[in-house]
Structure 1
Amino acid sequence: MLTFEEKWEKVLACDAAYDGQFYTAVKTTGIYCRPSCRSRKPKRENVDFYETKAEAESSGFRPCKRCQPEV
């Protein structure tokens, strides 16, 4: 299992190898994304990570329209 720091590094690098392994949720926008999403990167303090789409959605986040993690 990756630490918060390791996941954050993968998000900053837009690393597609980690798509499906975890999801990035942004507290200020209510959106969750794939690690490879090319949208503007949020502030680190506004980020939570979830292991599954279902966890992110049950916590009140909706899928990103750009990277479409629900597909």
Structure 2
Amino acid sequence: MQGNIVVSEDEKWNAVISCNKYYDGLFYYAVKTTGIFCRPSCKAKTPLKENILFFNSVDDAMKEGFRPCKLCRPDIKEHNFEPNRELI
């Protein structure tokens, strides 16, 4: 899902805490304390709200010095990335 959809900060935060896959590709969030950025649907531990930054693209997050999460792999363009697919 891509496009010129505007998502409010509160809506982004709610997507992060609910791991909502619907928002994948619309924005990414980075955690200041870990230096990692994720997709909204990432199943990693939910960070504290004051420790996150939102980005519109993978490139924007990487330009700010954040690295991709190894769990949700936001750097992979595949929209439906499933890390456990190979195990099945």
* TM-score bracket for the superposition, by shorter chain length: over 0.9
**Rg larger in structure:** 2
Q: Structure 1: any 5+ residue segments left out of the alignment?
A: none
Structure 1 runs of 4+ aligned residues shifted over 6 Å read none
Q: Quick check: which one's helix share is greater? A: 1
| Match for residue 69 of structure 2 among 50, 64, 70 | 64
Give TM-score, length-normalised by structure 1.
0.98
User: Could you tell me which residue of structure 2 aligns to residue 23 of structure 1?
Assistant: 28
Give TM-score, length-normalised by structure 2.
0.79
User: Could you tell me which residue of structure 1 aligns to residue 18 of structure 2?
Assistant: 13
User: Could you tell me which residue of structure 2 aligns to residue 40 of structure 1?
Assistant: 45
Alignment length, in residue pairs? 71
Q: Structure 2: any 5+ residue segments left out of the alignment?
A: 1-5, 77-88
The one of the two structures with greater contact order (alpha-carbon pairs below 8 A, sep at least 6) is: 1
* RMSD over aligned Cα atoms: 0.5
